[in-house]
Amino acid sequence: MFSSVLSKVAARFVRDQRGATMLEYGLLVGLVAIAAIIAVTAMGGALSNMFTDASNAL
């Protein structure tokens, strides 16, 4: 009796892909965040100069 319940639970766990999908989405969000941080850091000086020039022009 216990072994059949255990085998059903194990089979359901193996078929369930929600954990793997959540992990993949988490990794994707992390990579996008890293790319955004790198882009903002690289363009930070240029954006600052652009806003300073616009402020001075006003």
Torsion of CA 46, 50, 51, 55, to 10 degrees: 150
Q: Tokens representing 40?
A: 């903002």
Q: Tokens representing 43?
A: 């363009």
Q: What is the pLDDT of residue 4?
A: 79
pLDDT in tens, 1-58: 667 777 777 677 667 666 677 888 999 999 999 999 999 888 888 888 888 999 999 8
Rounded Cα gap, residues 55 and 48, in angstroms: 10
